[in-house]
Amino acid sequence: MRAPSRLLVWSIAAALALPALACRSRADDREDARTAARPSSAAVPPQASIAAAPVPAAPADARPRIVVLGDSLTAGLGLPIAAAYPSLLQQRLKAGGLDLEVVNAGVSGDTSAGGLARLDWALQGDVRVLIVALGGNDALRGLPADQLQQNLSEIIERAQSKGIAVILAGMEAPPNYGRDYIVAFHKVYPALAKQYHLAFVPFLLQGVAGAERLNQRDGIHPTAEGARIVADNVWTVLKPIAEAEARGRHGS
């Protein structure tokens, strides 16, 4: 099976990033935890312990929520809160008159298993849409593709059982585990999208991976400009769903 061209782009980016990733210290990991995803798109004081911050329970009149469940790419590692792509999605919703709250449930270093473990926490409140953007760390760790598929399947099924619309964002594997793994990993996302009838972003980092000017010095995390492109990728799929949710809320 011939891999898609975007797979080659991500493979190049990952190959450049892996040496930097290997040099990350435990202090870096602790910093990731401190700068992990905020519980919502609203600003959080820099001194706050982000990893420990719970998503607040929603009052009866709270806005419906769009939750973005992801890793450091979603958390916006290395960027101001307002520059992370979930915050950019919030701006677009506001500009379109769509009264929905975006909750940034991205945690740096998280895997699909980690996302599954904190799913109940992430789905607090009146959640209408769940964007699942996990898998990058699974790939870097060489997690078997069937385990990735199992974890994502459970996330999707649990969300759908609550009547939540799910958007799945695809990710690609780096080249160091070989072509068989790359292809198996790639197949997980479209297969799940088809199986569960999901709205689908084929590759979260389309147009960003491998572009030096769009990535930070680590070669992994997008710059502010790169995050805007990631927001474009997600917004294309999210917009019609958000509009439908807003129409349904107002009964029009």
pLDDT (tens digit, 9 = 90+) per residue, 219-228? 999 999 999 9
**Cα separation of 122 and 91, whole Å?**
21
Instruction: Using the predicted structure, report yes or no on whether residue 1 has a pLDDT greater than 70.
Output: no
pLDDT of residue 249: 63
Of these residues, 72, 87, 108, 112, which one is catalytic?
72
pLDDT above 60 (res 190): yes
Section 126-134 average pLDDT: 98
Of 11, 108, 186, 221, which is the active-site residue? Answer: 221
The average pLDDT across 162-182 equals 95
Total domains in the fold of the chain: 1
**Residue 24 confidence (pLDDT):** 40
pLDDT at 235 over 90: yes
Mean pLDDT of the 170-187 span: 94
**Is there a catalytic annotation at residue 72?**
yes
Closest CA to 201 of 227, 230, 168, 153: 168
Q: Is residue 25 a part of any domain in this protein?
A: no
Mark whether 218 is an active-site residue: yes
pLDDT for 81 = 94
Average pLDDT of the residues of the chain:
82
pLDDT digit string, tens, across residues 65-102: 999 999 999 999 999 999 999 999 999 999 999 999 99
Structural domain that includes position 80: 5-20+33-41+60-250
Q: Is 46 part of a structural domain of the chain?
A: no
* Confidence band, pLDDT 50/70/90 cuts, at residue 247: confident
What is the pLDDT, as a whole number, of residue 194?
98
Query: Is 121 within the bounds of a domain?
Result: yes
> Residue 54: inside a domain, yes or no?
no
Query: Cα dihedral sign for 54, 130, 146, 32?
Result: negative
CA-closest candidate to residue 244, choices 126, 92, 87, 100: 100
From CA 118, how far away is CA 247, in angstroms rounded? 30
Taking only the tens place, the pLDDT of each residue in 141-164 is 999 999 999 999 999 999 999 999
Question: pLDDT at position 250, please?
Answer: 57
Residue 189 within any structural domain of the chain? yes
What is the CATH classification number for the domain harbouring 135? Answer: 3.40.50.1110
pLDDT tens for each residue of 25-49: 344 444 443 433 344 443 333 322 2
Report if residue 50 sits inside a domain.
no
Percent of the chain at pLDDT > 70 equals: 74
> Would 55 be classed as within a structural domain?
no
Element (H, E) at 127: strand 127-133
Which candidate in 28, 126, 218, 232 is catalytic?
Answer: 218
SS3 89: helix
Give yes or no: 232 in active site.
no
**Residue 26 belongs to some domain of the structure:** no
- In this structure, are residues 89 and 231 in contact, taking their beta carbons and an 8 Å threshold? yes
Sequence-ordered alpha helix ranges (H) in 35-118: 72-75, 85-95, 112-117
